[in-house]
Homo-oligomer: A and B are copies of this chain.
Amino acid sequence: MPFFASFVVTNLSLAGRKETNGNNQRSTFRVLSDGFSIFVAMGTLTAFNLEHVTAILSRTPASLDALLRGLPDFWTHNKEGKDTWTAFDIVGHLIFADRTDWMPRLRRILNDGESVPFDPFDRLGQARESQGKTLDQLLTEFVEVRDGCIKELQTLNLKSPDFERRGKHPALGTVSVSELLATWAVHDLNHLHQLSRVMARQYQDTVGPFKAYLGVLHCDAHGA
């Protein structure tokens, strides 16, 4: 994003934080009234919206189910190399993160604010939890666990001022409810991105000269 756009988005974000009884949309208009009307689309683009987040969260399990259930192990149980994950591992990770990470961290912020940091995430925990299960079992489990999370999230009935509440991440420092919830949705997309790469990688030689046209086969995982 060019510098001037980052500047405006930062301003919109600051305006959003100062607004404690409105919503991001109103903040956008406040900034606009200061003369930034050219950036209305950009302001809208990056504004947090709980419905946008739950729209992703509620669709990921069914999408992965449609993609992976019954797929040959060739695609689901091979990985990219040493110390990387298979599709099976990724689904296990998404379940484990729903159980131990997102909602527990949201509750921590709402109960304790920044006074008690989040528990660190156990990045290898899903290996224990997935052991002895089939991928089809994990896919069913993901639908159920995610459904429970969304129901609890809706019960909390969070409103705009809640989105600005802060917690303490053990490594990243202060983070807001909106950042945590936005990350939950992007985390789904991040693992969809990883999953498509891990699967594609199994055919990196089989595609022959077409490899030149397939960006996914040139993805280096971005250090993730």
Contacts and interface: CB of A to CB of B under 8 A. Distances in A.
Interface string A45-82: 11111011001100110111111101110110010000
A203 interface: yes
A215 B202 contact: no
B65 A52 contact: no
A196 B193 contact: yes
10 contacts: A46-B202, A52-B74, A59-B67, A62-B67, A65-B66, A66-B66, A182-B208, A182-B210, A215-B221, A218-B224
B67 A60 contact: yes
Contacts of A178: 206, 208
A194 to B, nearest CB: 7
**What 4 A-B pairs are tightest by C-beta distance, nearest first?**
A215-B224, A179-B208, A215-B222, A63-B67
A132 interface: no
Interface residues of A, number: 72
Say how many copies of this protein the assembly contains.
2
A102 to B, nearest CB: 11
Contacts of A205: 1, 6, 9, 13, 46
A185 to B, nearest CB: 7
B71 A55 contact: yes
Interface string A191-212: 0111111011011111111101
A60 B70 CA distance: 13
Nearest to A218: B222
Interface stretch (A32-40, A146-154, A168-176): A168-176
Interface string A24-43: 00000000000000000000
A217 interface: yes
B210 A172 contact: yes
